[in-house]
Structure 1
Amino acid sequence: MAFCLSDGLMQVDYDDEEEFVYSEEEEEESRDSAQPPHGATIVQAQKQADSAVYEDGDDYFIDEEEEGEEDEQPTSAIQLEKKPWEVDFKAHDLEALQGRQEEMVSDLEPLLAVSRSSTDLLLRSYQWKTESLVEDYLADPDKVLSKTGVHAHPPVPSIETGDEEFTCEICYCSGADEQYMGLVCGHRFCTSCYETYITIKITEGDSWLIPCPAPKCKTLLGEEPTRLVLSGNKEMLAKYESNLARSFVKSAITLAWCPAPSCEYAIECLVPRSGMDTTIPIVNCKCGKSFCFGCKVDNHIPAPCSLVKRWQKKCEDDSETSHWIKANTKDCPKCNTVIEKNRGCNHMTCRECNHHFCWVCMGPWSEHGQAYYTCNRYNKASESINTSVSDARAQLERYMHYFTRYNNHEQSAKFAQNLLEATEANMEQLQRDMSLSWIDVVFLKNAVDVLTDCRAALKWTYVLGYYMVADNQKALFENNQSDLEMATEQLNELVEDPSDLSRIEEIKRKVLDMSHYVKSRLDILVTDTYQGLQENRWRFED
């Protein structure tokens, strides 16, 4: 088995494809061990993606840790089994990422016929795109080495003393007692200046490619001289390791850092960019964070990334403010000052120019005789103004319909944390008063988890609904949405007010039954939405 990171696809090359064709005996043994064959999940994911068009620079790699071993991922209450819309993913810690880099360096070193440290620098210079590096290097190795500032076989770095002619080119210290280090380019600096220089680069986040401190020198410091200079600074060395890993993750399209604060896990997901419009790649980090691998936003099932981005932009810009102003105000016909009507009378007086006009037809009030509160005069100019106002008001009302419900579920999801705390208090009370075990009462916490998942999904259904074209398919979608919404509210009432906790068995039966029903409604809605995206059944407004 060989690993290859190319511009197109990070893949596993198998010497014999029959590795995954089992005899009946092997198949029985596999079932007994309850472990999948090594790499099977990844191979399946790759086969599913074979028909997709991968963009240039999409790099994939597969971890080859213990065969058959799967990561222990936190399981949501609604994700007890693999669903059609779920994607394959894996969490990697810093050690695993370092191991992957070392393997790639080891695989490429014999082919390039340069030192290990030089191979590492070349890969980093090419952002770990093996295919591009090999192609360029085999065509003109001297050009590649010159362009990247890498030397094929640099001497082993060492810190030296005893040269009376040494003078640091930064601080100008000199003398035989000064410690210094030199690179293959011939520039020498004292260790104090070197450490300060490297520390600045690491702090700035540029530590994966550090050039020689000499002006206009392109020679790169590899890991060996960097570690040598920082050997007494463990904190900075750890940050250096972290920066190297971050540059590696940044260069691979199938890797992304978990967005949770202080989380050090990177997630690998094999969904290609071309599949983001029909697949919502939700992944769960080992830290418990659930997010979309495509747009790095919190879990937004069942809305695709493209609609999520449009909705967020719409909510952030001032377009809806403009709609409100247009729907609730008019310009003075004389001086164009914006005026808001805050009373029932149609007789308006502009405070800027003192012009009197009719709010309904926008004509001069002097032409209205004694009809102070009505206007039955037709005016073509006022018709266009009122039509524009009506359109703006309709757009605003439509937006507010969906936004209000979106925001309501968002707030309800936030309240779920308080509900969880109250539920856990009830669980502790039940255990004390009725001598019940944790397993006997954990159904309450599981129900809150179901509620949290449903609220999150319902929130994003209103984004889908806002952009959906009104047709029969949208009507079916809204029926599923309504069923889930009603069931969620019923479950919420049961959990928030479980009435007499002494009737624990009856309450447990009701909560379990309703939780099961709510989960089934959520599965139906999300599955149908996913299939609609796959089948191009949904039509969205531009």
Structure 2
Amino acid sequence: MDDDYYLSCEEDEEEEQEEELEVVEDDYDKYCHAQHDENSSTKPELTCQIITNETLVAAQKEVLVKVMDFFTLKKSQARTLLIHYQWNVDKLLDVYGEKGKESLFKTAGLTVFARTSLPESRYSLRKKMACDICMDDDLQFYSMTRMDCGHCFCNNCWKEHFTVKINDGMSKRITCMAYKCNAICDEDVVKKLINPEVAEKFDRFLVESYVDDNKRVKWCPSTPHCGNAIRREEDGGGEVECSCGHQFCFSCLCESHSPCSCLMWKLWSKKCEEESATLNWITVHTKMCPKCSKPVHRSDGCNLMTCICGQHFCWLCGGATGVRHTWTSIDGHSCGKFQEDKAKELEIAKRDLERYTHYYHQYRSHTDSSKQEDKLRKSVREKAALVSKKTHVSVHKDMKWVTNGADLLFRSRKIISYTYVFAFYMFGRELFKGEMSDEEREMKKNLFEIQQQQLIGNIESLSKTLNEPFDGYSCGELNKMKHEVIGFGFVVDKLCKEMYECIENELLGPLLAGHNHKIAPYRSEGIEKAIEFGADMV
């Protein structure tokens, strides 16, 4: 009876814990659904598809068929049109509606009429023909080819022309050889006249044109290259994740960098690569020798400097001098006047160096943390699997709450690292000089830093909780940890969303009219994962 009593007590305790956790989970789920519904109603989610080497032809054919059917064209003609209009069917149809079919085709270099066959009468078989390219006037009719534009040259000249263009990488739109003729040669005729290996290369270029010339399709920039391309269903940027796991910005193909704009990230990357901090230090703490232009650093001593090249110069103004000096003067030189401009330049350079060092240190610290938390995600999954196997409490069979928390931690940590890059340019004078008063800049900076610090605090709390050895926890300890992870996750997600709204509406919003600083929107579920081409869109 004693055993039955303890078992029943344990079961009652487990039921109470399950009910309590269900309430917490229900509240969290309601919040997530509300956020998703709100995002869906205000910003329709852009969907992305992964196009592999195996599905590239099918993806291209899908667009070709639309144009072939609409204009009653063969595949090569439809492809010529689409390559010119960068595979944008909407743009192609707009031009057709505004200017008509003739203008549409002429602009694309497409001539659509039945090719005039060369005469095959008994007389023509004996008649010699001439090629205006190689000037050979002793050619048979079967060694000549006439293009849709009407120009006719010998097959050898056509072959050489096509081969050179293809090997030079200009194979997608090969124009006629005739002077000032912009007509595009029929790809079927091109393939017939060139060698098989060149024809294979030409065919590959035509297929890959669907990615290379298409603004809505881009190769995944993973290294080494996974071979996939990503197609975005709508125009615009955003961040996307390929099936290989690589996350990148669709606009600039750099690593995902939101909430930085592409320009901010480009400038920051270049600044870091060029080790501008070192150059800035040299500017502040050294003077250039007036003879050999090498930097000279003064650790102590008087103002008469001697370079390793033997040149003497004055540290105060950098001017060349003689070798003699006294406490009051340097031989052959005088610079007793205070130079206001140079003093200001040194002060500005020093301040800029300190500012850059601060933001770079914060950026690197959070970037290093994100690398550790990427490893933490794997550790959390392993621990969660162990807990799911050994626990007898049904509410802990599903450990998604802890794996979702680890994913959110990794995403939010990357976001917070990029906020320092954003702040460096947003509140500096490099990009928005003259567009904000000092008072306005300081006010916006304070607003942003308050949100930034709140987010950092909750990220650190979430990180500390997830680093706990929960695979050895009791049921009660797991329940407590679950409350904390869900609670901190709730706040982190909410603060990320509010920070993005602040950046878009209050910080960058008023400045977007004169600058291209749009940022990828925040997604509670993380960067959008592209799905395989042909799969059902959700």
Pairwise TM-score range, normalised by the shorter structure: 0.5 to 0.7
What residue in structure 2 maps to residue 455 of structure 1?
413
CA displacement at 1:246 relative to structure 2: 2.3
Structure 1 position 316, deviation (Å)? 4.0
Paired residues for 1:292-311 under 5 Å: 292-311=249-268
Displacement of 1:524: 1.7
Gap change, CA 1:412 and 1:268, over 3 Å in 2: same
What residue is the counterpart of 2:62 in the other structure? Answer: 99
Q: Quick one: structure 1 residues 486 and 213, their matched pair in 2 at CA, closer, same or farther if it must change by over 3 Å?
A: same
With normalisation by structure 2, the TM-score equals 0.62
Give CA deviations for 1:304-327 in whole Å, capped at 9, x if unaligned: 333333333433446544321122
The alignment partner of 1:291 has SS state of strand
* Paired position in structure 2 for 1:405: 362
Q: Give the 5 Å matches for 1:130-279.
A: 130=92, 131-132=94-95, 144=106, 148=109, 150-154=111-115, 182=145, 184=147, 185-187=151-153, 189=155, 205-211=169-175, 220-225=184-189, 239-240=204-205, 242-249=207-214, 252=215, 254-260=216-222, 261-268=225-232, 270=234
**CA shift in 2, pair 1:318/1:132, >3 Å:** farther
Q: Larger relative CO (CA 8 A, sep 6+): 1 or 2? A: 2
On the 8 A contact 2:226/2:244 being kept in 1, the answer is: no
Identify if the C-alpha distance between structure 1 residues 220 and 355 changes in structure 2 by more than 3 Å, giving closer, same or farther.
closer
After the TM superposition, which residues 63-74 of structure 1 pair with which residues of structure 2 at under 5 Å, given as runs?
none
| More divergent stretch after superposition (221-230 vs 87-96) | 221-230
Distance 1:262 1:90, change over 3 A: same
The reply on whether 1:327 has 2:284 as its aligned counterpart is yes
Cα distance in 1, alignment partners of residues 256 and 459 from structure 2: 18
**2:475 aligned with 1:513, yes or no?**
no
Gaps of 5+ in 2: 1-31, 118-124, 330-334, 428-440, 518-538
Question: 1 CA distance for matches of 2:264 and 2:401?
Answer: 35
State the partner residue of 1:367: 327
Shift of residue 523, structure 1, vs aligned partner: 1.6
Contact 1:356 1:365 in 2 (8 A): no
Q: 1:132 to 1:235 in 2, by over 3 A?
A: same
Equivalent position amino acid for 2:466 in 1: V
- Residue type of the alignment partner of 1:491: L
One-letter code aligned to 2:255: D
Does residue 442 in structure 1 map to residue 400 in structure 2?
yes
**Corresponding residue of 1:479:** 450
Name the CA shift for 1:349/1:499 in 2 (closer, same or farther; >3 Å): farther
Deviates more, 1:474-483 or 1:255-264: 255-264
- CA drift of 1:393 comes to 0.9
Give the CA deviation at 1:151.
4.8
Contact 1:361-1:379 within 8 A present in 2 as well: no
| Alignment CA distance shift 1:338-1:220 (3 Å) | closer
Q: Deviations over 1:304-363 (max 9, x none)?
A: 3333333334334465443211222245799976332446x6787535448697889999
Describe the SS at the equivalent of 1:267.
strand
Q: Which is greater in Rg?
A: 2
**Cα distance in 1, alignment partners of residues 281 and 221 from structure 2:** 35
Contact 2:280 2:349 (8 Å CA) reproduced: yes
Confirm or deny that 1:464 pairs with 2:438: no
Q: Which structure has the highest helix share of the two? A: 2
1:211-261 CA distance string (max 9 Å, x none): 568999866443444676899889758734532312551xx4x55444343
Q: Which TM-score applies when normalising by structure 1?
A: 0.61
2:232 match: secondary structure: strand
The whole-number CA distance in structure 2 between the counterparts of 1:201 and 1:498 is 64
Displacement of 1:199: 7.9
What CA distance in whole angstroms lies between the structure 1 residues aligned with 2:194 and 2:389? Answer: 56
Residue 77 (structure 2) aligns with: 118
Aligned counterparts of 2:506 and 2:464: Cα–Cα separation in 1 = 32
Judged with a 3 Å threshold, the aligned counterparts in structure 2 of structure 1 residues 119 and 491 are, in CA distance, closer, same or farther, namely closer
Residues 506 and 223 of structure 1: CA distance in aligned 2, closer, same or farther (over 3 Å): farther
Asked if the contact 1:86–1:281 (Cα under 8 Å) also holds between the matched residues in 2, the reply is: no
TM superposition shift of 1:528: 1.9
Matched to 1:513, the amino acid is G
Q: Which deviations, in whole Å up to 9, do the C-alpha atoms of 1:265-287 show, x marking residues without a partner? A: 33325456xxxxxxx73345565
Paired AA for residue 249 in structure 2: C
Distance 1:122 1:361 in 2: 64
* Aligned residue among 497, 501, 506 for 1:532: 506
**1:530 is aligned with what amino acid?**
E
